[in-house]
């Protein structure tokens, strides 16, 4: 009820805005996607920009009686900067402005209203203040740290500390800020001063423990943590104390049992042992990693890796042909693509070289880039000539051939914005076939604004056309059915997936191998819920685990996460599915965390075990095997990915770890099973009538009387999976059949395929070939098999 | 982003780096050849006065000439938008004792494929590139995971041995931001 009230208010404001905009002046550039270096020409965007700048000014000057005196210069400057692009030449423009300003301000109020309401619905009133404080700090810091404007802020704070050296709160704040900057030793001495104030002692000790942990003084970290626990037993402190104690060789005697803990999840037995091979493979770059993508950059058959990064360019790692990598970033043209977020791989011009679309900045405005792959290890920025400029906040991007014309189109989610956000729609770019794109968002009916972070394209009703799921950062999820004529219909409510949640990314996968795509929406949980899960082995009663929706095959979905054992709370920022133990069932990898320096979370691995313990019609259950398999306890996961990097059948789990603050010191995690956990077959598809990457193709593999289903995906979430489809075969040594339904509609069937191999299948061709050169003996053995006899039939 | 940025010839380990000439913040002009005079080699550090990572290496750089008298040292301030006045104020405030060249528009940083500070380049007397990358893995020396990268490279070079790891990945603060600068609210205080 309250929600519809706010929504009505929001809609009214927006209608008013568009009317007054039309009143103002037709000459103002409309729908400009170019960076507003000189201020946006739109009043709504300028107002939002002003509000964001104002928040930064407020944060850098403590609010008090003299706040306005101290800050009026800054406020005036922010206003003149934000509104610089607004035309104010004629009386008519001034009149329109006077009407638009209050409407724009009103829109922001309704935005905050809706956010608060949705936040309260998801986390409950009790945890709402914490969530608001967290979000506000992160949003303001994003402005300061992502743009590297922190220096003056820190200098100002340090100046204030010098003026009032006895103010413990200021010192605590300075220490907290130094930790964000990686200046841990200076943080420690500020916090030591702050500790003298008994009211702030517990908080300062907790921060000091974190600083000492990062500075590798684990004994002191344990001492600080134990002292903080004695004063104020918080779960956060308990967890950091446990982490520090792990590093220091266990809890010292003086830590009382009440301050101790054990991690009570992730211990379910598994057959697989994982080892961290990042350094061995040459992928252990220390950087604020974000999205990852695995693809064959240079056509040599071996999978290469790209990792996006905050504060830095994209790293490009070339596969040496044995699963180890050489950093080939320098000179590639990708190394100057700073602050990138997600990478989507797709051969948009069908020239045989996979191209990259890179979103920038996420919660912060930036310009996304389309890189054309030149095939020689270099990439050229073709954003402008291709017509895919998109200035603003942007998260996920996905390549999809939504109209099945054989050319990849592009979808970008971009309306989960800044603290004050003018609300910009997502974007669907149609591929014109000549290297250019046309923005068809409005024609397709996808221009509604809901705070979207993740998108997932998948054909849930098996009508041949990919449909679109949008995961909302703080709002209702949306499902759009593809009508097949270039338009979409919102079917969220009848499908039963329109819940409000703190959603992040989403993906389609057929977890139960029934031939119908199921949907997983990954959810970001507040820290307290995550700690509760770690410490108590179960989520808090009001916690929200990820949402797995089972496809009922009639256009509706049933939420089955709890039934399937997916009942824990994690701050999931990225995830992917892959059969890492080669048992024929997809497993789930989560990368978790949040920007604050004192929030660290393990990556989580859910293994699907078809052990008959599933309830109802479900074939099994997911079990958290993270620590039993050997994953670490800390992280800040982005860009989770599964890839057979060496081409030996062992899927590597890749999680790019990284944070928003310069002080975060995480390296990319790459874990690989120590031995081949089962037989496998890797299949790569090359489209001819379909798009070359065969995005949208469906595969059905029959082995041992059981079927496995896969869909080729164009990069949902922050980890863009390789196009290579990995089938785990367990102990089966024969594949009965592999059926491929190409996006063009062509159906092909292959029999007598080899196991433990990586093969390439070209659309319409009856013969397949091996991707990797093998030894002569293996090759000869292979030749003695009868020629594969494909069955071709057009549908 | 613009297309010129990727047009620079690829800089290879073992190859010769082109001479540069930049204004010296402390006055005058500096060239690589000038800093190499009478030295066996030269350490070039891309740096920024804003960068919180560079800060940690202040004493390392201040003491570098005493530690390695055979090597020259020059620092290039390359963060976009930093002024000579700001850099001079930082020199005074942090007692920095090394020469700083000013690459105001990050032009040289781009030519040297540098996106982040600090990033170091070790050259021999013929301006041949010996090592490129980070000083260490930014852990504290007490950390069991600590790894020094530059020190072993310098030691191998001075001992006339091949450098085992001539390239490491850099990390740190970006030399430019894709976002338009939050113009003055904070820069004026």
What are the backbone dihedrals phi and psi of residue A239, each rounded to the nearest 5 degrees, phi first? -70, -45
Question: Taking CB atoms and an 8 Å limit, are A331 and B6 in contact across chains?
Answer: yes
Judge whether residue A112 has pLDDT over 60. Answer: yes
* Cα–Cα dist A174/B54, whole Å: 19
* Cα–Cα dist A412/A385, whole Å: 18
Helix (H, G, I), strand (E, B) or coil at A373: strand
Residues in Cβ contact with B107 at an 8 Å cutoff, skipping those fewer than 6 apart:
none
Judge whether residue A431 has pLDDT over 90. Answer: yes
From the list A147, A361, A662, which residue is nearest B52 (CB)?
A: A662
Task: Give me chain B's average pLDDT, please.
Answer: 86
Calculate the CA A417 to chain-centre distance.
15
From the list A77, A311, A665, which residue is nearest B185 (CB)?
A: A77
From the list A184, A288, A360, which residue is nearest B178 (CB)?
A: A360
Q: Output the six-digit token pair for B1.
A: 């982003």
Neighbours of B175 (CB within 10 A): 30
Looking from the CA of A533 toward its CB, the CA atoms found within 13 Å total: 23
pLDDT at A33: 54
Note whether B52 and B173 are within 8 A (CB).
yes
Chain A contact set for B182 (CB, 8 A): 53, 56, 143-144, 147, 149
Give this complex's ipTM. 0.84
Question: Taking CB atoms and an 8 Å limit, are A339 and B174 in contact across chains?
Answer: yes
B27 touches chain A (CB under 8 A): no
Chain A nearest CA to B64, separation (Å): 21
Q: Which residue has the higher pLDDT, B172 or A764?
A: A764
Strand partners, A768: A761
Q: Nearest residue of B to residue A667 by CA position?
A: B137
Restricting to B residues 140-159, those with a Cβ less than 8 Å away from any Cβ of A are 140, 142-146
Question: What integer is the mean pLDDT of A111-129?
Answer: 88
Weakest-pLDDT range from A497-511, A515-529, B168-182: B168-182
Chain A nearest CA to B164, separation (Å): 15
* Cα–Cα dist A57/A191, whole Å: 25
pLDDT at A7: 73
Restricting to A residues 641-670, those with a Cβ less than 8 Å away from any Cβ of B are 662-663, 665
Weakest-pLDDT range from A82-86, A187-191, A603-607, B182-186: B182-186
From the list B55, B169, B184, which residue is nearest A77 (CB)?
A: B184
**Residue A151 pLDDT class (50, 70, 90 cuts):** confident
Q: Output the six-digit token pair for A227.
A: 């002292």
Listed residue (A579, A569, A649) closest to A607, CA to CA:
A579
Strand-pair category, A679-686 with A757-762: parallel
Judge whether residue A597 has pLDDT over 60. Answer: yes
DSSP annotation of A56: H
Listed residue (A581, A630, A601) closest to A277, CA to CA:
A630
From the list B8, B182, B189, which residue is nearest A156 (CB)?
A: B189
Q: Nearest residue of B to residue A330 by CA position?
A: B113
Residues in Cβ contact with A658 at an 8 Å cutoff, skipping those fewer than 6 apart:
A287, A288, A289, A290, A309, A310, A636, A638, A664, A666
Q: Which residue has the higher pLDDT, A89 or B96?
A: B96
Question: Taking CB atoms and an 8 Å limit, are A662 and B180 in contact across chains?
Answer: no
- A with B: how many residue pairs have Cβ under 8 Å apart? 154
Residues in Cβ contact with A68 at an 8 Å cutoff, skipping those fewer than 6 apart:
A75
Chain B nearest CA to A44, separation (Å): 18
- Residue identified by tokens 């997911």 is A622
Helix (H, G, I), strand (E, B) or coil at B84: helix
**Residue A658 pLDDT class (50, 70, 90 cuts):** confident
Give which of B52, B81, B89, B147 to mutate to test A binding, by max A Cβ within 10 Å: B52
Q: Nearest residue of A to residue B13 by CA position?
A: A330
Chain A contact set for B115 (CB, 8 A): 312-313, 335-336, 338
Strand partners, A295: A304
Note whether A638 and A288 are within 8 A (CB).
no
Neighbours of A513 (CB within 10 A): 18
Q: Which residue has the higher pLDDT, A512 or A32?
A: A512
Chain A nearest CA to B90, separation (Å): 11
Question: Taking CB atoms and an 8 Å limit, are A285 and B11 in contact across chains?
Answer: no
Alpha-helix residue ranges (DSSP H) falling in B69-140 = 84-94, 107-111
Of all residues in chain B, what percent are helix, strand and coil, respectively (each to 5)?
A: 25, 25, 50
Alpha-helix residue ranges (DSSP H) falling in B26-135 = 32-36, 52-55, 58-62, 64-67, 84-94, 107-111
B56 touches chain A (CB under 8 A): yes
Question: Taking CB atoms and an 8 Å limit, are B52 and A149 in contact across chains?
Answer: no
Question: What integer is the mean pLDDT of A423-436?
Answer: 92
Chain A contact set for B178 (CB, 8 A): 338-339, 360-361, 366-367
Strand partners, A759: A683, A770
Weakest-pLDDT range from A593-607, A712-726, B118-132: A712-726
Chain A nearest CA to B50, separation (Å): 6
What are the backbone dihedrals phi and psi of residue A206, each rounded to the nearest 5 degrees, phi first? -60, -45
Give which of B1, B92, B116 to mutate to test A binding, by max A Cβ within 10 Å: B1
pLDDT at A27: 43
**Residue A104 pLDDT class (50, 70, 90 cuts):** confident
N-to-C CA span, chain B: 30
pTM (two decimals): 0.91
Judge whether residue B176 has pLDDT over 70. Answer: yes
Burial class of residue A380 (count of CB atoms within 10 Å of its CB; 0-12, 13-18, 19+):
middle
* Cα–Cα dist A711/A649, whole Å: 19
A25 touches chain B (CB under 8 A): no
pLDDT digits 0-9 by tens, B116-161:
899 999 999 999 999 999 999 888 888 888 889 999 999 999 999 9
B167 touches chain A (CB under 8 A): yes
Question: Taking CB atoms and an 8 Å limit, are B167 and A367 in contact across chains?
Answer: no
**Residue A22 pLDDT class (50, 70, 90 cuts):** low
Judge whether residue B178 has pLDDT over 60. Answer: no
**Residue A787 pLDDT class (50, 70, 90 cuts):** very low
B14 touches chain A (CB under 8 A): no
pLDDT at A35: 64
From the list B56, B110, B142, which residue is nearest A216 (CB)?
A: B142
Peptide bond into B118 cis (omega under 30): yes
Question: Taking CB atoms and an 8 Å limit, are A311 and B174 in contact across chains?
Answer: yes
Helix (H, G, I), strand (E, B) or coil at A354: coil
* Cα–Cα dist A3/A108, whole Å: 15
Chain B contact set for A60 (CB, 8 A): 185-186
**Residue A309 pLDDT class (50, 70, 90 cuts):** confident
Chain A nearest CA to B166, separation (Å): 12
Chain A nearest CA to B140, separation (Å): 6
Chain B nearest CA to A54, separation (Å): 9
What long-range pairs does A755-758 form, CB within 8 A, spacing at least 24? Answer: A755/A679, A755/A680, A755/A681, A755/A729, A756/A649, A756/A679, A756/A680, A756/A681, A757/A681, A757/A682, A757/A782, A758/A644, A758/A647, A758/A681, A758/A682, A758/A683, A758/A684, A758/A724
Question: Taking CB atoms and an 8 Å limit, are B52 and A183 in contact across chains?
Answer: yes
Residues in Cβ contact with A133 at an 8 Å cutoff, skipping those fewer than 6 apart:
none
Listed residue (A679, A589, A662) closest to A631, CA to CA:
A589
Note whether B24 and B98 are within 8 A (CB).
no
Chain A nearest CA to B39, separation (Å): 28
**Residue A463 pLDDT class (50, 70, 90 cuts):** very high
Residues in Cβ contact with A198 at an 8 Å cutoff, skipping those fewer than 6 apart:
none
Question: Taking CB atoms and an 8 Å limit, are B52 and A73 in contact across chains?
Answer: no
């Amino acid at each position: 009820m309250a929600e519809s009230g706010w929504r009505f208010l929001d809609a009214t404001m927006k209608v008013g805005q568009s009317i007054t905009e039309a009143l103002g002046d037709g000459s103002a550039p409309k729908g400009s996607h170019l960076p507003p270096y000189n201020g946006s020409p739109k009043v709504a965007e300028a107002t939002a920009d002003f509000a964001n700048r104002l928040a930064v000014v407020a944060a850098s000057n403590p609010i008090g009686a003299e706040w306005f005196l101290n800050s009026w210069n800054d406020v005036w400057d922010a206003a003149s900067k934000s509104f610089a692009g607004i035309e104010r030449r004629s009386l008519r423009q001034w009149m329109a402005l006077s009407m638009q300003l209050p409407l724009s301000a009103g829109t922001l109020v309704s935005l905050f209203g809706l956010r608060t309401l949705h936040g309260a619905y998801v986390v409950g009133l009790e945890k709402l203040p914490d969530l608001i404080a967290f979000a506000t700090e992160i949003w303001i810091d994003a402005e300061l740290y992502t743009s590297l404007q922190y220096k003056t802020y820190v200098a100002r704070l340090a100046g204030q500390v010098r003026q009032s050296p006895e103010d413990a709160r200021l010192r605590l704040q300075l220490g907290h800020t130094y930790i964000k900057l990686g200046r841990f030793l200076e943080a420690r001495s500020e916090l030591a001063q702050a500790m003298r104030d008994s009211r702030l002692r517990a908080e300062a000790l907790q921060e000091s423990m974190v600083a000492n942990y990062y500075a590798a003084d684990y004994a002191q970290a344990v001492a600080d943590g134990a002292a903080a626990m004695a004063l104020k037993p918080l779960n956060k402190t308990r967890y950091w104390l446990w982490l520090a104690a792990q590093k220091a060789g266990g809890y010292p005697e003086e830590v009382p049992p009440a301050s101790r803990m054990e991690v009570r999840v992730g211990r379910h037995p598994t057959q697989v042992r994982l080892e961290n091979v990042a350094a061995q493979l040459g992928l252990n770059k220390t950087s604020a990693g974000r999205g990852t993508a695995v693809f064959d950059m240079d056509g040599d058959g071996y999978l290469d890796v790209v990792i996006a990064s905050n504060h830095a360019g994209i790293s490009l790692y070339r596969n040496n042909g044995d699963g180890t990598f050489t950093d080939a970033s320098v000179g590639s043209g990708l190394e100057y693509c700073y602050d990138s977020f997600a990478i989507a791989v797709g051969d948009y011009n069908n020239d045989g070289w996979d191209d990259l679309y890179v979103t920038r900045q996420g919660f912060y405005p930036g310009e996304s880039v389309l890189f054309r792959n030149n095939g020689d290890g270099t990439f050229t920025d073709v954003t402008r000539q291709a017509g895919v400029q998109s200035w603003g906040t942007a998260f996920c991007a996905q390549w999809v051939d939504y109209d099945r014309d054989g050319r990849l189109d592009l979808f970008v989610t971009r309306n989960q914005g800044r603290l004050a956000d003018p609300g910009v729609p997502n974007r669907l770019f149609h591929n014109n076939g000549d290297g250019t794109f046309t923005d068809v968002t409005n024609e397709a009916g996808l221009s509604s604004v809901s705070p979207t972070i993740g998108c997932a394209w998948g054909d849930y009703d098996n009508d041949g056309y990919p449909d679109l799921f949008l995961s909302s950062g703080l709002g209702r999820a949306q499902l759009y059915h593809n009508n097949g004529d270039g338009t979409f219909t919102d079917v969220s409510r009848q499908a039963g997936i329109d819940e409000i949640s703190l959603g992040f990314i989403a993906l389609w996968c057929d977890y139960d191998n029934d031939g119908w795509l199921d949907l997983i929406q990954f959810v970001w949980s507040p820290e307290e819920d995550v700690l509760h899960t770690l410490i108590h082995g179960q989520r808090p009663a009001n916690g929200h685990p990820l949402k797995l929706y089972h496809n009922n095959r009639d256009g509706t979905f049933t939420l089955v996460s709890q039934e399937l054992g997916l009942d824990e709370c994690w701050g999931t920022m990225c995830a992917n599915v892959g059969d890492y133990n080669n048992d024929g069932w997809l497993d789930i990898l989560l990368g978790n965390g949040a920007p604050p320096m004192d929030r660290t979370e393990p990556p989580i691995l859910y293994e699907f075990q078809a052990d008959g313990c599933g309830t109802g019609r479900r074939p099994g259950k997911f079990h958290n095997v993270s620590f039993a398999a050997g994953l670490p306890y800390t992280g800040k996961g982005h860009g989770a990915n599964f890839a057979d990097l060496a081409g030996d059948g062992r899927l590597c789990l890749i999680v790019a770890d990284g944070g928003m603050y310069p002080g975060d010191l995480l390296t990319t995690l790459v874990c690989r099973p120590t031995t081949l956990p089962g037989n496998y077959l890797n299949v790569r598809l090359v489209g001819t009538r379909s798009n070359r990457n065969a995005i949208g193709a469906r595969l059905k593999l029959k082995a041992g009387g059981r079927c496995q289903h896969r869909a080729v995906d164009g990069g949902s979430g922050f980890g863009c999976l390789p196009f290579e489809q990995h089938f785990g075969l367990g102990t089966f040594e024969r594949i009965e059949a592999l059926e491929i339904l190409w996006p063009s509609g062509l159906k092909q069937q292959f029999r007598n395929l080899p196991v433990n191999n990586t093969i390439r299948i070209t659309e319409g061709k009856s013969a397949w070939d091996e991707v990797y050169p093998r030894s002569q003996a293996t090759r000869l053995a292979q030749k003695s098999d009868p020629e594969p006899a494909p069955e071709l039939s057009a549908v | 982003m613009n297309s010129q940025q990727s047009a620079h010839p690829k800089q290879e380990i073992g190859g010769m780096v082109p001479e540069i000439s930049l204004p010296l913040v402390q006055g005058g002009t500096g060239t690589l050849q000038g800093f190499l005079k009478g030295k066996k080699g030269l350490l070039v550090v891309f740096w920024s006065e804003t960068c919180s990572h560079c800060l940690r290496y202040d004493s390392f750089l201040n003491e570098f000439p005493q530690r390695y008298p055979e090597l020259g040292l020059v620092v290039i301030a390359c963060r976009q938008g930093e002024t000579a006045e700001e850099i001079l104020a930082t020199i005074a405030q942090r007692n920095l004792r090394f020469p700083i060249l000013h690459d105001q528009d990050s032009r040289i940083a781009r030519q040297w494929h540098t996106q982040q500070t600090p990033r170091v380049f070790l050259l021999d007397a013929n301006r041949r590139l010996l090592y490129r990358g980070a000083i260490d893995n930014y852990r504290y020396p007490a950390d069991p995971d600590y790894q020094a990268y530059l020190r072993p490279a310098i030691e191998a070079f001075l001992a006339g041995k091949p450098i085992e790891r001539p390239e490491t990945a850099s990390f740190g603060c970006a030399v430019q931001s894709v976002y338009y600068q939050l113009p003055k609210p904070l820069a004026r205080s």
